[in-house]
Amino acid sequence: MRWLADECVSAPLVHRLRDAGHDVSYMAEAAPGTTDPAVLKLAHDEDRVLLTEDKDFGDLVFRSRMAAAGVVLLRLDFENGPAKWLRLEAAIAEFGDRLIGRYVVIEARRFRSRPLLRSAT
């Protein structure tokens, strides 16, 4: 799967995704400090699912109706990198390509998913 990891995502988690064979662009490496709308536009333009820990992307895709290939929001209280990887890996196994076109929230005990709206433009 093609991902764009927001800069708030930890580098070890990005490396785990890459080690698992995913194509991951990482904002912390490519263009740190990029605004959220520009990050979302880049993910859309490159047909990448955005991986983030920033809730503001929900406002961008649902209130502002910005286009997105898919958004995965990590909402985990623990800082443990291996535990985050296990939850992300479980979501990838459950949703697979269905992450595309959806807004998926990964929590410690459940996943929440809803389809993305069509963009206003």
Distance CA 68, CA 46 (A): 10
User: What's the confidence (pLDDT) of residue 121?
Assistant: 46
Number of domains observed in the structure of the chain: 1
Domain with 13, as residue range(s), is 2-115
User: What's the confidence (pLDDT) of residue 87?
Assistant: 95
Report percent pLDDT > 90 for the chain: 89
User: What's the confidence (pLDDT) of residue 45?
Assistant: 97
- Which is more confidently placed, 77 or 30? 30
Instruction: Indicate whether 31 belongs to any domain.
Output: yes
Instruction: Indicate whether 62 belongs to any domain.
Output: yes
Residue-wise pLDDT for 48-76, tens only, equals: 999 999 999 999 999 999 999 999 999 98
Can you give the CATH number for the domain in which 39 is found? 3.40.50
The per-residue b/e assignment along 29-46, b for 16 or more CB within 10 angstroms, e otherwise, is: eeeeebebeebbbbbbee
Instruction: Indicate whether 86 belongs to any domain.
Output: yes
User: What's the confidence (pLDDT) of residue 78?
Assistant: 66
**pLDDT band per the 50, 70, 90 thresholds, residue 118:** low
Output the pTM of the full model.
0.94
Instruction: Indicate whether 26 belongs to any domain.
Output: yes
Instruction: Indicate whether 20 belongs to any domain.
Output: yes
Instruction: Indicate whether 40 belongs to any domain.
Output: yes
- Give the mean pLDDT of 27-50: 97
Nearest alpha-carbon partner for 109 in 81, 78, 79: 78
Residue-wise pLDDT for 10-24, tens only, equals: 999 999 999 999 999
Instruction: Indicate whether 121 belongs to any domain.
Output: no
Amino acid in position 62? F
Residue whose token pair is 């995913």: 22
Reading the block at residue 99, the tokens are 């992450």
